[in-house]
Amino acid sequence: MDGAINGFPPYGFSAVVKFGGSIMRDLAVCKHAVAELERLADHGHRILVVPGGGIPDKAIEAVDVAASLTPSTAHHACALAQDQTGYMLADPAFSSKLVPSASLGECRALAKAAKVPVLLPSRLLFAADPVEWTWHITSDAVAAWIAWLTSTPRLVIWTNVDGVYRGGAVDDPAALVEQITARELVRFGHTSIDACAVDFMAQKHLPGAVINARYPARLADWLAGTPVRATDITVNGSEEADINPQTLGDT
């Protein structure tokens, strides 16, 4: 996929990395993960970071459990929680190269300048309104949609576990699913990647992986095509054709 369409300059991202909010529970791990993103940028990778809702999102969920927020309130508050996490990740306390932006065009320019753009997705989500207002849709699905929207060839869910485990048995190393197609993974339901994101990946032929940010070098290895301890999410043969929304005609 070269993304070359006359009059439509490609975004040129090599991967969308959904930076799981769970990573921020351990700030030392978070700093090491951010440092790895900076190192990848120094080596020519153009990474687009989509932040999870993280700590602000958990606070919204707690209020919803206690007071039952309307879907509109929950959806819009959670989108803004992603922005808040993005601002924190890009703060000098963590990073010298991560830069927050609400504009995909600016994100493209930042990546070209060897920075690591952190998309603040709320403005884009409010304008396009692409997802249902439900707790079943998480920042994983938002990241998958953004990867498709920008014609990015792969999606990484960077989180605090090694990947997807059969039966959710995260304490059983033998239960780790090392490779699976997106269509097969849909049947697992919500795991360390939400089911809506996996279904989107299957429908849009978008491969990716679930990778543990506690071992940040695994991300570089996976991007280089080296097998790592993670869950590699593939798409079947002919399905790997082209995820470009401009050429597929999908909406």
Give the CA angle between residues 138, 139, 144 to the nearest 5°. Answer: 105
Q: Residue 186: what are its φ and ψ, rounded to 5°? A: -55, -35
Q: Residue 111: what are its φ and ψ, rounded to 5°? A: -65, -40
Strand 116-119, strand 98-101: pairing = parallel
What is the identity of the amino acid at 88? M
Q: What DSSP string runs through 163-188?
A: SEEGGG-TT-GGGEE-EEEHHHHHTT
User: Residue 38 in 3-state DSSP?
Assistant: helix
CB within 8 Å of 142: residues ≥ 6 apart? 18, 50, 79, 82, 121, 125, 131
Q: Give, for all 251 residues of the chain, the pLDDT tens digit.
A: 455 789 999 999 999 999 999 999 999 999 999 999 999 999 999 999 999 999 999 999 999 999 999 999 999 999 999 999 999 999 999 999 999 999 999 999 999 999 999 999 999 999 999 999 999 999 999 999 999 999 999 999 999 999 999 998 998 999 999 999 999 999 999 999 999 999 999 999 999 999 999 999 999 999 999 999 999 999 975 344 333 333 222 32
**222: exposed, middle or buried (C-beta count within 10 Å: 0-12, 13-18, 19+)?**
buried
Q: Which domains, and CATH codes, for the chain?
A: 15-248 (3.40.1160.10)
